[in-house]
Amino acid sequence: TDTPQHLLDIAERLWQARPRPPLAASAIDAEALSLAGNFVGAAAAWARVARAAEDDTMADAAEQHAGEALRYAARQQAATRLFLEHDWEGALAGLEPLVRVCGPQATALYMMRCRCFKMLGKLSLASQVAGQWLTWAVGASGVSGTWARGSPRMLMAWAGASTALELGDVEKTKKYYQLVLRADPDQPEVSSAICSVTFF
């Protein structure tokens, strides 16, 4: 399908608004943006590479990458719409190919994917996604700092713990809580929750 015109317009405006960095930096930036699930930004970065390319082969390759990034952006938009409409199966089908392109840096995609699995009753998969993302998050941000209520890492920790508990895996539930408390011991709700599952 054709890429929606408004996504192309956004990519062009992003390209115009930013100063032109060196060619190699733009390519690295584009790859990092794709890994983070920012496909519109990746398309803009690839457009910069195409315009600064030293030969037609490089320009053609960059244009192909830009087009691919915009197609991913359109898929992401469609999956997000389905997610907001609570079409969990449809959203998950749209998210799966995107997650294969991205790394755990694509926090929003991982959170939506976890929620879809949970709402579809695929609790083991929901817990697995939460665990994968949290493993990355702890390694990426260290083990210190506040895990504020409503932050992505707290939401994923609660999602992982609750799905593990629903599956009857008390030990795994405790591991999720302990992960939070190791990083941020000042969590009364989590401390209370771990105490309650200790009695199981």
Which residues does 53 contact at the CB level (< 8 Å), separation at least 6? 23, 59, 62
**With 70 as the cut, is the pLDDT of residue 139 above it?**
yes
Structural tokens at position 104: 């755990």
- Amino acid of residue 193: A
| 10-14, 69-73, 113-117, 130-134: least confidently modelled range | 10-14
The confidence score (pLDDT) of residue 186 equals 78
The confidence score (pLDDT) of residue 145 equals 55
The CB density around residue 94, as the number of other CB atoms within 10 Å, is 22
Q: In terms of Cα–Cα distance, which of 194, 159, 189, 192 is closest to 175?
A: 194
Query: Are 63 and 50 within 8 A, CB to CB?
Result: yes
Query: Are 116 and 88 within 8 A, CB to CB?
Result: yes
Q: In terms of Cα–Cα distance, which of 152, 183, 178, 182 is closest to 193?
A: 178
Which residues does 60 contact at the CB level (< 8 Å), separation at least 6? none
The confidence score (pLDDT) of residue 29 equals 86
**With 70 as the cut, is the pLDDT of residue 89 above it?**
yes
147-161 pLDDT, tens digit each: 777 888 888 988 998
| 32-41, 50-59, 80-89, 133-142: least confidently modelled range | 133-142
3-12 pLDDT, tens digit each: 667 777 777 7
| 142-151, 167-176, 178-187: least confidently modelled range | 142-151
| pLDDT band, very low/low/confident/very high, at 88 (cuts 50, 70, 90) | very high
**With 80 as the cut, is the pLDDT of residue 123 above it?**
yes
The CB density around residue 39, as the number of other CB atoms within 10 Å, is 26
Q: How far apart are CA 162 and CA 127, in angstroms?
A: 8
Mean pLDDT of the 171-181 span: 84
- Amino acid of residue 77: Q
Placement of tokens 């105490």 in the chain: 195
Q: How far apart are CA 31 and CA 140, in angstroms?
A: 18
